[in-house]
Amino acid sequence: MKQLLAQRVQTLTPSSTLAITAKAKELKDQGIDVIGLGAGEPDFNTPQNILDAAIDSMNKGLTKYTPSGGLPVLKKAIIDKLQRDNGLTYSPKEVMVGVGAKHVLYTLFQVILDEGDEVVIPIPYWVSYPEQVKLAGGVPVYIEGTASQNYKITAEQLRSSITEKTKAVIINSPSNPSGMIYSKEELAQLAEVAEEKDILIISDEIYEKLVYNGIKHTSIAQLSKSIKARTIVVNGVAKSHSMTGWRIGYAAGNAEIINAMTDLASHSTSNATTTAQYATVEAYNGPQDTVEEMRQAFDSRLEVIYPKLAAIPGFKVLKPQGAFYLLPDVSEAATKCGYESVDEFAEALLTEANVAVIPGSGFGAPATIRLSYATSLQLLEEAVRRMDEFVQSKWQR
Ligand SMILES: Cc1ncc(COP(=O)(O)O)c(C=O)c1O
Ligand 1 atom with minimal separation from the 40 CA: 14
322-354 in b/e burial notation, b at 16+ Cβ within 10 A?
Answer: bbbbbbbbbbebbebbebeebbebbbbbbeebb
Reported as a pLDDT band with limits 50, 70 and 90, residue 228 is: very high
Query: Is 34 a residue whose pLDDT tops 80?
Result: yes
Query: Is 19 a residue whose pLDDT tops 80?
Result: no
Ligand 1 centroid to Cα of residue 314, in Å, is 30
Instruction: Please check whether residue 125 is in contact with residue 170, taking contact to mean a CB–CB distance below 8 angstroms.
Output: yes
Distance CA 211, CA 299 (A): 8
The dihedral over CA atoms of 66, 72, 77, 79, expressed in degrees to the nearest 10, equals 120
Ligand 1 centroid to Cα of residue 194, in Å, is 24
**Residue 62: is it exposed, middle or buried by C-beta count within 10 angstroms (0-12/13-18/19+)?**
middle
Ligand 1 centroid to Cα of residue 206, in Å, is 6
Total Cβ atoms within 10 A of residue 76: 16
Q: Closest Cα to residue 241, out of 272, 276, 204, 214?
A: 276
Reported as a pLDDT band with limits 50, 70 and 90, residue 220 is: very high
Q: Which residues contact 246 (CB under 8 A, 6 or more apart)?
A: 46, 237, 238, 273, 276, 279, 280
Tens of pLDDT, residue by residue over 267-288, are 999 999 999 999 999 999 999 9
Tens of pLDDT, residue by residue over 304-325, are 999 999 999 999 999 999 999 9
Tens of pLDDT, residue by residue over 136-162, are 999 999 999 999 999 999 999 999 999
Give the closest residue (by CA) to ligand 1 atom 7.
101
Reported as a pLDDT band with limits 50, 70 and 90, residue 20 is: confident
